[in-house]
Each structure stands twice: as C-alpha cells, then as structure tokens.
C-alpha cells in the first residue's frame, strides 16, 4: 500500500501494526445489566437480544460479531454452550426463564471477585476473548523494555544448637543487606548471621579452546568446568576466619535467621537449606520454575518469603497458570483465580505473587493478574505489595481527535466526518488505521504538488503539537496493590509514563508516590518530561508535580518521609527537592544543576543525601546538603579513577556503617571505603582487585569480599587483620 509521506504518524503506526498477531477481532461488549434480561428467541432482532449478547460475551461466551441485537447462528451457539456449561441442558433456540435465572446467578457471583476496575476471569473462553480485545485496542510498545541499616543483635550467650554444636558468640553489630524499606530484606549474593558469611560469587566459567586439530578435540575427555557454589565462611571472631563448606548451588539469597533457613535463588529453581548445623547444611526443599515462568524479584518479611513471578501468556491456552512445582507437584492457579482490568488494555504477561513458607517450601498464598511485560517494577512496603507494568494506549483515537480538532481547516468536512465515524465501528484498531490511510490517500491524490507540499508540513507540525499535549494519555503504567495481611488485591490504578525502578515508588501515610518519565517512548519527536504523582489508597491520582527535566529522563529517585529527591539527566544533572507534605498539593521546592548524574541516592541524615553516579565516564560520589530545600547545595564530591560501580545499577552492593561514618563501593578496579565525617568525603581504604563484590561489617571489623578472596580490616585503625583465599 502506498504510504503518504506527510502522514508521518500513520506510516509509523502501520509499520508497527504489521507485526501484530493476525487473530480475529471481536466487538467490545458493553456493561451487562441483568435487570434488562428477558425472553429472546432465534430470528429475533431486539434490545433484549442485545442485552443477552452483552452478558454472554462478558462471561466469555463467543459471539464474534458482538452485541448486534440479532439472534442468529452465532448467538444460538453461545446460548447452547451456556445452557450446556451452566445448566447441563442441550438448548439453543430460545433464551428463557431458566437461562435468565442462571445467568443472573453467575453474574452476581462474579461481582464478588471484582475489586475497583479489576476482576477475575470466569473461564478460559473469557480469558481468550479479553486477549483479543486487548490486542484490538493496543499499540505495540516502542520498547519491550533502604533508608537506614537496622543492625540486628545476634544472641550474646552460648547456646547448644540442634545436633549438639556449641554456638560461639556472634558479633553484636551485624550489617544487613542495603534495602529500600528497613525491616524488609531483599535477595543478594551475600548474607551473614553474625558468625558466618554466606557468599555466592556467581562467577561464570568459560573453557579456553586450544589450537588443536579438530579430530583431537574430544569433548568426552575434557575436564569438567568448575561449578558455581555458595561458600560458607566462619567469619567471627576474625581470628577463626576459615572456609567451612560449600553448597553446590549459587544465586542470590535470603537468610531467615529465626528459622535457620537459607534460600538460594537460582535461574531455574529456589532451594531451601537447613542451617541448624551450619557446617553441614541440609537441602529441605526445592521449588522449580515451570512453564517458562521466571522470577521478577523476592522479599523476606516477618519470616515469610514473597515471590513475584512473570510468564508470557499463551494466547491459545492462557490458563491455568503453573508458575512453580514443589516435589514434582505443580502449583496451579486456575482461570477463575486470575484478575484482569475491566477495560481491555494491552497485555502479554501474567504476574503471580506468592507467599512461601521458608521451612517447608509450601505455598501459603498466591494471587495472579495479567499485564504487560514491559518495565515491570516491584515495590513492597510493610503493608502492601505493588507491581507495575508499562503499556501504550491505542493511537487511533489520538489520530482521529487530532484531525477533528486541530486540522479541520486542512481537509474537507466529508473527509473529517468519514474519519470521525470510524470511532464507532466494530473493527480493530489496526483496521481503523488502514481506513484512515485509505481516506487520506484518496484526498491526497486529488491535490496539486504545491498543495500536497503545504499539507505535508502543516499536518506534521500540528500533529506533533497535538501529541505533545496528549503524551500523558498514551503512555501508561498499570499499578496493582496487594494487601499483605490477607493477600488480596486492594486496588489497581494507572499513572502516566513509566517508573525507573523500585525507588520510584514509595508508600507513606496511605498514599503512594511514583516518579515517572513521560514522552520518551512516543511516536514522533516529543519532548520527554518527568513527573511525580501522588495516589490515594484507591490508587486515584490526587496530586502531581509535572514537567521536571524537560527532554531528560529520570536517573534516580528517593522518597524520605515528606520529602522527595529526583535526578534527571541528559547533559547536566538536575537534582530536585520536592515537598510532599500535602498530598493534594505537592511542590517543587528547589533545583540544583551540576555536571554528571547520580544513579543511586542514599540518605545520610535528615539534611544530607549521598549520590553515586558518573561524570565524564568516571564514578562520582556527591554529598548534597538539603537543609534548605529551596537551595540544595553539592556540599562535597569525589571523582574516582574508575569507570563503573555496581551500586549504579544495584543498590544492594552498597554498604554504610553509621557508627564509623563510612560507606563501601565495589568498583571496576577494586573496592573503595569512604568516610563522610563532618560532611566531607575522603577515601579511607582501597582494595585493588578487579572482582571485588561486597562488604559486610561484624562489630568493628569490615570484611571485603572478591570472587576469590576475603580481607578483614579493623575499622578503628584501618589495619589489615586477616585475609583468606576462597
């Protein structure tokens, strides 16, 4: 089909739409009003037939042409299937009193599974229908893309453990993984119980091929590659430093100290180990990931493990979902236990949130819903679990509205009206775009070259202006809120744009704050912007600060009480301070523009924020003084001769010790210990090793670990105490 150059936006959309799955498109059903149900029969055309059709479609029964009001073969087939499934009757020619009574009961039962704008599917058929509707309304995504340490006090007295092992005195000051919310642990490659360190370096091994003739390369006689393992290190007291044992599994870990359970999270399974005898850990259970499910993230809270799984939807057989298996037995989530937004939105993935008993591996609770695979973010407070997904609304209505409201003087009225009428047609989004293209191409062919050139420039300019105004209506983040107490969905909502990571979300006093970038993934040259939205307990937007960092995107965010801190970047690093004390009227209080950017923000005190990022391809550490919100100041900075730190992409690699006022960063060339005493940054200690991974502290000793070595420093005088090859 010939493309019209001046219709830039249509050309781009049709190009993307060409990759969409070619499945039958169905008409969208209106709301089922059971009070309007009445007797209907084959061959009849009436509103009562349309009401029955709407209700049957909402329950998942297939009527391809939608609620036309005519009782024909398609409706007869749906009625027959309904009577057979619900009443066990072979009936199809009428929809009478028995069917009406049964349908009312089914619809009534579904209302109990509805929460706000989200509800459960009633059947596999309804799930399939929803997928068809979501694809009809979709535009393909342009890119399918802790406040303080809380030291826990280990037992100070000698105890006799299980198996008769005498447990030695543990350290009184024990570091924890750097997390977003104090008290909610996050998985990492290092954990400690105050006496031992559990370390999974996750090193990758590669076989070096010798330059030998091909016939001499005999795979059956090759030495086996080393297996990545989790090391158990006796760490405290330092004099007893020793490698005690290895576990033949590796991955990020969660340590349930009260239950003496270590959960090792691999790429395809989770293993739970009993640490009653730490020298000889026993595998208690194994959870395997099934059906192409993979783990988004996990948390540990109140001695329960929380998992969030994601799976691409099988469009021909979307349910049940079987995310995990325990002991060879699959964990099944049935079709009627899966939630979906009431209004069809673009979806391609299912999400399953699961509560796990760490002692047995048993699933104590689970819930599933569907959304988009793009940019999923998981944030957990002490009350709720939030899961987000990014999607883009269909572009047809935006195109049609732009033509109707901004370009009436460019086209004849009959052209505009032909396009506006497409809004009410029961055809797919893609089909409507093809119709627009056909209508406009026909008009384009009637113009002279001079007229066509003017139209080309005017339409592009006006559409870009219009889309700039509407960018927040097309890029959306869906948000699902799950209550931790009963593990039920409390609310679902939407926000414009997309969040960067978990720190872009924060719950405070029953309000959710979310920092997003909008406009970056739009069709056409639209200016990106950055917003912060405040949502109430029902996830309705009640306040916003908009248009920060125009043409830039968010690089880091942090919410602390009534304050919010945001860094955007393109060429300079605007550091923003927000006052969120009034949820309905959040304010931008101050802004600081400096070179480079910070990709991780750490609150050092009420008035001091630490930033870790880059400037001119070198790691930069900054101290921001926010005592005057209207006038934030970069109090101090330190530029490392290193190009990268894992902290820039993984906050769990960061360690801070408040007692000694130091923090640790792993870098590309080694490990760095900084002091921030008196609000000044100074480099206290370095460890030169290309594979430095993490650090922990036990009492006044800092343990720095690389893939193959552990080094202990005394934090009082910074002398090396001991080291051990691993």
Least confident of 118-132, 316-330, 348-362, 493-507: 118-132
pLDDT of residue 165: 42
pLDDT band at 11 (very low <50, low <70, confident <90, very high): very low
Q: 338-341 and 363-371: which strand pairing?
A: parallel
What tens digit of pLDDT does each residue of 229-265 get?
Answer: 999 999 999 999 999 999 999 999 999 999 999 999 9
| Most confidently modeled range among 73-87, 166-180, 233-247, 326-340 | 233-247
**Cα–Cα distance measured from residue 535 to residue 559, given in angstroms and rounded to the nearest whole number:** 14
Least confident of 2-16, 413-427, 648-662: 2-16
What tens digit of pLDDT does each residue of 329-346 get?
Answer: 999 999 989 999 887 778
Q: What is the sign, positive or negative, of the torsion defined by CA atoms of 92, 96, 101, 105?
A: positive
Rounded mean pLDDT, 77-106? 82
pLDDT band at 9 (very low <50, low <70, confident <90, very high): very low
Most distant CA atoms of the chain, gap in Å: 95
Q: Find residue 595's DSSP bridge partners.
A: 572
pLDDT band at 638 (very low <50, low <70, confident <90, very high): very high
pLDDT surpasses 80 at 712: yes
pLDDT of residue 136: 62
pLDDT of residue 109: 58
| Most confidently modeled range among 128-142, 163-177, 359-373, 564-578 | 359-373
Rounded mean pLDDT, 148-163? 34
The DSSP result for 283-337, as a single string, is EEEEEEE-TT-EEEEEEEETTEEEEEEEEE--SSS--SEEEEEETTEEEEE-GGG
What tens digit of pLDDT does each residue of 429-473 get?
Answer: 778 888 888 998 999 999 999 999 999 899 888 888 888 888 898
pLDDT surpasses 90 at 511: yes
pLDDT surpasses 80 at 725: yes
Task: Please classify residue 584 by burial: count the beta carbons closer than 10 Å to its beta carbon, then call 0-12 exposed, 13-18 middle and 19+ buried.
Answer: exposed
pTM of the predicted model as reported, rounded to 2 decimal places: 0.80
pLDDT of residue 225: 53
**Cα–Cα distance measured from residue 363 to residue 314, given in angstroms and rounded to the nearest whole number:** 24
Enter the tokens of residue 542.
Answer: 């009640």
The residue written with tokens 């960061």 in the block is 654
What tens digit of pLDDT does each residue of 670-698 get?
Answer: 999 999 999 999 999 999 987 899 999 99
**Cα–Cα distance measured from residue 175 to residue 515, given in angstroms and rounded to the nearest whole number:** 29
Rounded mean pLDDT, 90-110? 79
Enter the tokens of residue 263.
Answer: 């959960």
pLDDT surpasses 80 at 573: no
pLDDT of residue 137: 58
Rounded mean pLDDT, 402-419? 89
Q: Give the chain's length.
A: 726
212: how many CB neighbours lie within 10 A of its CB? Answer: 9
What tens digit of pLDDT does each residue of 296-312 get?
Answer: 999 999 999 999 999 99
Name the residue among 559, 479, 505, 561 with its Cα closest to residue 379: 505
pLDDT of residue 405: 86
- For residues 107 and 238, the model is more confident at 238
pLDDT of residue 212: 46
pLDDT of residue 398: 79
What tens digit of pLDDT does each residue of 533-557 get?
Answer: 999 999 999 999 999 999 999 999 9
Rounded mean pLDDT, 22-28? 35
Three-state SS string across 25-92, please?
CCCCCCCCCHHHCCCEECCCECHHHHHHHHHHHHCCCCCCCCCCCECCHHHHHHHHHHHHHHHCCCCC
Rounded mean pLDDT, 612-617? 94
Task: Please classify residue 542 by burial: count the beta carbons closer than 10 Å to its beta carbon, then call 0-12 exposed, 13-18 middle and 19+ buried.
Answer: middle
Averaged confidence pLDDT in the chain: 85
pLDDT surpasses 80 at 391: yes
**Cα–Cα distance measured from residue 52 to residue 32, given in angstroms and rounded to the nearest whole number:** 8
pLDDT over 90, % of the chain: 57
| Most confidently modeled range among 106-120, 402-416, 647-661 | 647-661
pLDDT of residue 149: 29
pLDDT band at 526 (very low <50, low <70, confident <90, very high): confident
pLDDT band at 427 (very low <50, low <70, confident <90, very high): confident
């Amino acid at each position: 089909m010939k493309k019209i150059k001046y219709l830039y936006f249509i050309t781009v959309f049709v190009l993307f739409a060409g990759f969409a799955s070619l499945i039958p498109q169905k008409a969208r059903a209106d709301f089922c009003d059971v009070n309007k149900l009445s007797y209907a029969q084959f061959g009849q055309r009436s509103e009562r037939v349309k009401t029955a059709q709407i209700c049957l479609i909402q329950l998942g029964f297939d009527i391809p042409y939608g609620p036309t009001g005519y009782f024909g073969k398609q409706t007869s087939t749906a009625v027959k299937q309904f009577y057979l499934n619900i009443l066990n009757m072979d009936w199809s020619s009428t929809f009478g009193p028995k069917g009406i009574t049964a349908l009312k009961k089914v619809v009534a039962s579904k209302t109990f599974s509805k929460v706000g704008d989200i509800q459960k599917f009633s059947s596999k058929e309804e799930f399939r229908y929803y997928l068809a509707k979501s694809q009809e309304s979709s535009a393909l995504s342009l890119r399918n893309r802790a406040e303080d340490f809380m030291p826990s006090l280990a037992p100070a007295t000698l105890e006799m453990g299980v198996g008769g092992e005498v447990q030695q005195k543990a350290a009184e000051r024990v570091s924890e993984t750097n997390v977003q919310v104090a008290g909610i642990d996050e998985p990492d490659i290092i954990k400690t119980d105050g006496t031992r360190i559990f370390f999974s370096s996750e090193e990758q091994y590669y076989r070096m091929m010798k330059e030998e003739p091909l016939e001499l390369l005999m795979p059956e006689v090759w030495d086996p590659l080393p297996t990545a393992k989790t090391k158990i290190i006796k760490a405290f007291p330092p004099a007893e430093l020793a490698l005690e044992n290895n576990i033949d599994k590796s991955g990020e870990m969660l340590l349930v100290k009260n239950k003496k359970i270590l959960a090792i999270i691999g790429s395809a399974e989770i293993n739970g180990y009993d640490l009653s005898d730490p020298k000889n850990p026993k595998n208690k259970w194994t959870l395997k990931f099934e059906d192409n499910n993979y783990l988004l993230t996990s948390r540990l809270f109140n001695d329960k493990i929380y998992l969030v799984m994601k799976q691409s939807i099988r469009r021909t057989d979307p349910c049940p979902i079987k995310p995990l298996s325990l002991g060879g037995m699959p964990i099944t989530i049935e079709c009627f236990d899966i939630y979906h937004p009431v209004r069809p939105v673009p979806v391609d993935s299912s999400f399953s949130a699961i509560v796990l008993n760490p002692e047995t591996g048993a699933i104590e609770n689970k819930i599933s819903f569907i959304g988009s695979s793009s940019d999923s973010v998981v944030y957990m407070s002490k009350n709720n679990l939030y899961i987000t997904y990014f999607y883009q609304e269909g572009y047809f209505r935006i195109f049609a509205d732009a033509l109707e409201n901004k370009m009436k003087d460019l086209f004849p009225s009959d052209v505009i009206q032909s396009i506006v009428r497409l809004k009410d047609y029961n055809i797919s989004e893609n089909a409507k775009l093809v119709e627009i293209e056909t209508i406009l191409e026909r008009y384009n062919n009637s113009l002279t070259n001079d007229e066509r050139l003017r139209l080309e420039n005017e339409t592009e300019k006006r559409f870009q202006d219009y889309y700039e105004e509407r960018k927040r209506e097309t890029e959306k983040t869906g948000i699902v809120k799950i209550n931790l107490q009963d593990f039920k969905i409390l609310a679902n909502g939407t926000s414009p744009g997309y969040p960067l990571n978990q720190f872009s979300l924060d719950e405070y006093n029953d309000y959710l704050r979310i920092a997003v970038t909008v406009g970056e993934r739009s069709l056409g040259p639209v200016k990106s912007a950055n917003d912060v939205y405040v949502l109430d307990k029902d996830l309705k937007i009640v306040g916003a600060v908009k248009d920060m960092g125009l043409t830039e995107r968010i690089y880091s965010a942090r919410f602390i009480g009534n304050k919010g801190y945001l860094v955007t970047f393109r060429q300079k690093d605007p550091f923003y301070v927000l006052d969120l004390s009034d949820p309905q009227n959040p304010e931008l209080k101050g802004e600081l523009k400096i070179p480079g950017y910070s990709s991780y923000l750490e609150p050092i005190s009420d008035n001091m924020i630490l930033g870790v990022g880059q400037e001119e391809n070198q790691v930069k550490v900054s101290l921001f003084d926010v005592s005057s919100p209207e006038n934030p100041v970069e109090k101090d900075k330190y530029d490392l001769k290193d190009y990268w730190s894992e902290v820039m992409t993984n906050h769990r690699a960061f360690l801070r010790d408040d007692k000694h006022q130091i923090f640790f960063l792993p870098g590309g060339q080694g490990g760095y210990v900084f002091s921030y005493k008196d609000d000044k940054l100074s480099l206290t200690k370095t460890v030169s090793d290309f594979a430095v991974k993490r650090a922990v502290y036990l009492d006044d000793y800092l343990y720095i670990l690389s893939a193959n070595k552990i080094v202990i420093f005394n934090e009082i005088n910074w002398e090396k105490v001991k080291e051990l090859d691993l």
